[in-house]
Structure 1
Amino acid sequence: MRLFAQLSWYFRREWRRYLGAVALLIIIAVLQLIPPKVVGVIVDGVTQQHYSATQVLMWLGLMALIAVVVYLLRFVWRVLLFGASYQLAIELREDYYRQLSRQHPEFYLRHRTGDLIARATNDVDRVVFAAGEGVLTLVDSLVMGCAVLIVMSTQISWQLTLLALVPMPVMALMIKRNGDQLHERFKLAQAAFSSLNDRTQESMTSIRMIKAFGLEDRQSALFAADAADTGAKNLRVARIDARFDPTIYIAIGTANLLAIGGGSWMVINNTLTLGELTSFIMYLGLMIWPMLALAWMFNIVERGSAAYSRIRAMLSEAPVVDDGSETLPAERGTLAVAIAEFRWPHAAHPTLNNVNFTLKPGKMLGICGPTGAGKSTLLALIQRHFDVDRGEIRYHDIPLPRLQIDNWRSRLAIVNQTPFLFSDTVARNIALGKPDATQQEIEHVARLASVHDDILRLPQGYETEVGERGVMLSGGQKQRLSIARALLVDAEILILDDALSAVDGRTEHQILHNLRQWGEGRTVIISAHRLSALTEADEIIVMQQGHISQRGEHEQLVSQPGWYRDMYRYQQLEAALDDEPEETSHA
């Protein structure tokens, strides 16, 4: 029942709908009390007062009219009640999605995609079901049950009513006990469903790798194990669920037995008429639904409560990066980085230390270094996915924590190491950050990213569907589409995080040349393993073990002993060896 208290904010806001539905339920309950009374009147009228056929038909007509009115009223209250519960589903999912979009990478290190999807779908459905069917059954069972009890005890016999209610306290205790067990077991079942969702999502997104390594049987076995675990936990829920109906039917059966036995004794002793006993048994029959509804309500509300606790756990989780309050001036500014120390959550050693540089508008910064040197971490801090532990990053001489996150990120255009494309057309993937872009604008940035000719060779050109995650495109094409998408945003700062790794040298050179022309007055930051991508940078910093080991222009670094010169010579030699077979074949 705590779910109703947790959702009280929504019930108060939508009180008109819920009050209207409750009022109609009360009217329906009152109308349903009339037919059993009419049946008793007809029985006594036929057996004692010798009613005519016309009188009987009049009473039957009244019962038919009541049935029609009840049908219409049930239609109206369902629209009111379930309309309100479906609106709750929309709001919960909107809040949930907004919360996920506010979270930072640290959040996604702790939560898996399948679990997040399960909470947004299965758990929300359970909460909505409880807010609709749960409210219906609670109100209907209470109103109908109380109304029937009042009529039975005041209009027929309070002694017989008390006798028929003897099994009810035992039934209530059993339902409460089963409801508590159901709550805990259902939470475990939902967690198992989340794990199964995770396994499904991972298998679907990595199906190429699974097939390449011949891991189909192994993955099938793992999936079967998760499915079996989920099935076992749901079976434990079903075992508790299965106890509700027998408990109700035994209680009702016992109540009927006591009512018939006690009522027959009262008829024999002339303290009750046959018609009254008939009405009493029919009223007792009306008690079957409130009792079943009460048990069903406990069932669905406990499921909804367990699901809502999982949703609230996500909604109450504050982002690790707090939003600021200041906004940036309209003009372009200088980016100043002064990181004394930063370490990842739970890391034993700092990831970055003593990283300092200043980047003025219109300049290009190159970042390189061995794997694990901290390049992507530095770019993540600039994007403010995390806050610096010691030190600060400033733009327009304003520390990033004081800026509104959305306002800061609107100045950035990012192309990450692993490009992500949506299952949509090429044109709409490029126009992701600017949905109202014209075809000419889309084609212009595609040319800058050297992908225009590739797009024209696709079956439907810019209207070609790229498939899930861009499955029908090569790695280089996906990278260049992502670069075009970033260029279309026309942001002040363009960040390329190893975004040219999958393109050939000639295409890389053309893209960099185009970026230099496009980037006049704009700041460009390029992180790359292939040093040829950094030759046009105004300054290059070499990261090693989390700090800057070398800095300068390309020509300066090539002439200095160190990692940059060694790696550049190695890559030049590697490129020459790759070209040699091609030259030999032409000869």
Structure 2
Amino acid sequence: MKALAYLNKYLLKYKWYLILGTLFTVISNLFGIFPAQLVRYALDLVRETLDIYYLFDGSPIQAEMYSVFTNSILLYGLLILAMALLKGFFLFLVRQTIIVMSRHIEYELKNDIYEHYQSLPMSFYRKHNTGDLMARISEDVSKVRMYVGPSLMYGINLIVLFILVISYMVSVNAKLTLYVLLPLPLLSVSIYIVNSIIIKRSEEIQRQLSNLSTYVQEAFSGIRVIKAFVQENYSFGNFKKETESFKDKSLSLTKVDALFFPIIMLLVGLSNVLVIYVGGQEIINGTLTPGNITEFILYVNMLTWPVMALGWTTSQIQRAAASQVRINEFLDEKTTLISEKNLTPEIQGGLRFDNVGFLYPDSGIRAIHNFDLTIKSGESVAILGTTGSGKSTLANLICRLYDPTQGNIYLDDIPLKDYKVQHLRQQMGYVPQDVFLFSDTIANNVKFGINELPFEKIEQAVQDADLMTTIREFPDGYETRLGERGVTLSGGQKQRLSIARAIARDPKILILDDCLSAVDTNTENIILNNLKRIMKDRTSVIISHRVSSAKLADRIVMLDNGVIVEEGTHDQLIQNESVYKELYEKQLMAEEEM
């Protein structure tokens, strides 16, 4: 229950649902108990009246007595029916409060988890897979809802019913009540033993469910690769292994759950036997009536469903606890990308790297070493290097997706850490190397993150990214909906749409991370010429392994293994026997051969 204490703040927020639900539970149970007493009165009335009725056999008084007797029985019957209807009505109200409360809490919890996920740094997402994240926000939250909804409802009902029923039973006959309750300690011990097993197996099921979700998400994300390599049968075989494991773990839990029902029915049956045996002796002694015995049997049967529900409720609570432990594991993760000062000044765009170093926390790879670089406001700098040289890491550091593990980065002579993170990123237009588009219209992808953007700006951004012709070919134009991750478009089209998305927000700093690798030379030249105008008076960082992109920049930096090996303008580096010159000549020869 310690893990479930996290939910107390939600229960406090919706306390009136809980209070009213408890009140309605008490009232509904009262209307369930009263009929048992009416049955006792009715049976005793029958037993007592019949003897007197036969004494006046054949007399006019017998007819009058019959009329009174039948009217009394009819009245009891109508009262029992009325109370049954009232009990049903208040049970409806119980569900309209406690179950509705559970849906509100489910909604709040999912929103809080999703919001917390978004606050976590990129290092968190490098350590955890998407399937696991999805399982915790969907399956685990659903298990938790069963605790704050049905489990809580049945638990309250059990407590209220036990208090009311046992109080009434003791008031009738304390000795018989004691015998009826004798099986309960045995029931408690049984539940404790079985629940210990349930906790362990529930945790195993949730872990396996995360593995299964991860595998399915990965398989369908890479469905084109699976089909291209004709690995459908292999993929299905692996899926069957995962589902087989999930089935076996679920069945092992079901076998344990199955112990509850026979145990409870055995103990309920034992209670009924004790009621009849001990109650029969009390009738002989003259301390109880047959109506009392019937009343006790009804009470025992009233306790049957709550006691049966106790097993199910306990199982659901343990599953919820296991799920909440998993949820809390991620909720306890804290982002390191915080700002104590939360500055929001107008940004000019001057960047300065001061002895910056960066080590990826998950892999231990050192991507940047003692990096020093100053980029003036409005200046464009190209960072070139081979794969793994640390280019994309610099882009992540500028956007503050990571913080340097050594040194500092300054923006307009203010440490990057002092800026409010959201304010900082709103001033940046970032085109990542791994393009990601949303399953939405082209227009909405271009204006992503901007609530109101004039259509003229969307059109201009698309024009600058050389995507206008492509969009005009689509029947729905800008309202064309893209498939998952932009699968509708080719690689080059996705890159150009990503560029349009970055420049549409008119950023102070533009970061292009190898964003033209999937376009042909002709398209690249068109986009580069458009970017010349866009980058004017705007701080721009062009990351690439192609020298054609670097020619746009005021200055070129050659990076190797996280260290600057050369720096200068295109003309300066060409005049020297430089690494840049060698790369430039190789790529020039390759283009001529094509």
TM-score, normalising length: structure 1: 0.96
Residue in structure 1 matching 2:143, options 92, 113, 126: 126
Maintained 8 Å contact 2:349/2:509: no
Maintained 8 Å contact 1:137/1:296: no
Query: Partners in 2 of 1:316 and 1:479 — Cα distance?
Result: 36
Moved beyond 6 Å, runs of 4+: none
Maintained 8 Å contact 1:354/1:548: no
Q: Which residue of 2 aligns with 1:142?
A: 159
Gaps of 5+ in 1: 579-587
Total equivalences in the alignment: 577
Q: Cα offset for 1:77?
A: 2.1
Query: Partners in 2 of 1:563 and 1:370 — Cα distance?
Result: 11
SS of 2:366 mapped into structure 1: coil
Q: Which residue of 1 aligns with 2:73?
A: 56
Maintained 8 Å contact 1:3/1:301: no
SS of 1:575 mapped into structure 2: helix
Q: Cα offset for 1:558?
A: 2.1
Q: Cα offset for 1:347?
A: 5.1
Q: Cα offset for 1:277?
A: 0.8
Query: Partners in 2 of 1:316 and 1:349 — Cα distance?
Result: 26
Q: Cα offset for 1:482?
A: 0.7
Maintained 8 Å contact 1:339/1:391: yes
Q: Which residue of 1 aligns with 2:108?
A: 91
Q: Which residue of 2 aligns with 1:509?
A: 525
Query: Partners in 1 of 2:162 and 2:551 — Cα distance?
Result: 82
Q: Cα offset for 1:237?
A: 1.5
For residues 395-544 of structure 1, what are the structure 2 equivalents within 5 Å? 395-544=411-560
Q: Which residue of 1 aligns with 2:62?
A: none
Maintained 8 Å contact 1:339/1:388: no
Q: Cα offset for 1:519?
A: 2.4
Counterpart code for 1:475: G
Maintained 8 Å contact 1:433/1:485: no
Residue in structure 1 matching 2:385, options 369, 386, 404: 369
Q: Cα offset for 1:308?
A: 0.7
More displaced stretch, 115-124 vs 161-170: 161-170
TM-score, normalising length: structure 2: 0.94
Query: Partners in 1 of 2:250 and 2:339 — Cα distance?
Result: 41
Gaps of 5+ in 2: 51-67
SS of 2:519 mapped into structure 1: coil
What do the CA deviations read for 1:419-453 (whole angstroms, capped 9, x no partner)?
11111111111121213223222111100111011
SS of 2:564 mapped into structure 1: strand
Residue in structure 2 matching 1:279, options 279, 295, 299: 295
Query: Partners in 2 of 1:6 and 1:146 — Cα distance?
Result: 28
Query: Partners in 1 of 2:355 and 2:211 — Cα distance?
Result: 39
For residues 97-176 of structure 1, what are the structure 2 equivalents within 5 Å? 97-155=114-172, 157-176=173-192
Q: Which residue of 1 aligns with 2:59?
A: none
More displaced stretch, 262-271 vs 16-25: 262-271
Query: Partners in 2 of 1:56 and 1:559 — Cα distance?
Result: 114
More displaced stretch, 45-54 vs 177-186: 45-54
Q: Cα offset for 1:409?
A: 1.1
Maintained 8 Å contact 1:106/1:320: no
Maintained 8 Å contact 1:335/1:395: yes
Q: Cα offset for 1:563?
A: 2.2
What do the CA deviations read for 1:477-519 (whole angstroms, capped 9, x no partner)?
0011111111111111111111111111121122122122122
Q: Which residue of 2 aligns with 1:47?
A: 47
What do the CA deviations read for 1:70-91 (whole angstroms, capped 9, x no partner)?
2222222211112211111111
For residues 31-430 of structure 1, what are the structure 2 equivalents within 5 Å? 31-50=31-50, 52-155=69-172, 157-345=173-361, 350-430=366-446
For the aligned residues, what is the CA RMSD? 1.5
Q: Which residue of 1 aligns with 2:16?
A: 16
- The alpha-carbon distance between structure 1 residues 260 and 5, as it changes in their structure 2 partners (threshold 3 A), is farther
Query: Partners in 2 of 1:200 and 1:564 — Cα distance?
Result: 45
SS of 2:409 mapped into structure 1: strand
Query: Partners in 2 of 1:3 and 1:495 — Cα distance?
Result: 43
What do the CA deviations read for 1:356-403 (whole angstroms, capped 9, x no partner)?
111122211101111111101111111112221221100121111222
Query: Partners in 2 of 1:385 and 1:348 — Cα distance?
Result: 17
Q: Cα offset for 1:13?
A: 2.3
Q: Which residue of 2 aligns with 1:584?
A: none
The answer on 1:555 being equivalent to 2:571 is: yes
SS of 1:186 mapped into structure 2: helix
Identity of aligned residues (%): 33
SS of 1:444 mapped into structure 2: helix
Q: Cα offset for 1:194?
A: 0.2
Maintained 8 Å contact 1:428/1:435: no
Maintained 8 Å contact 1:340/1:354: yes
Q: Which residue of 2 aligns with 1:582?
A: none
Counterpart code for 2:292: E
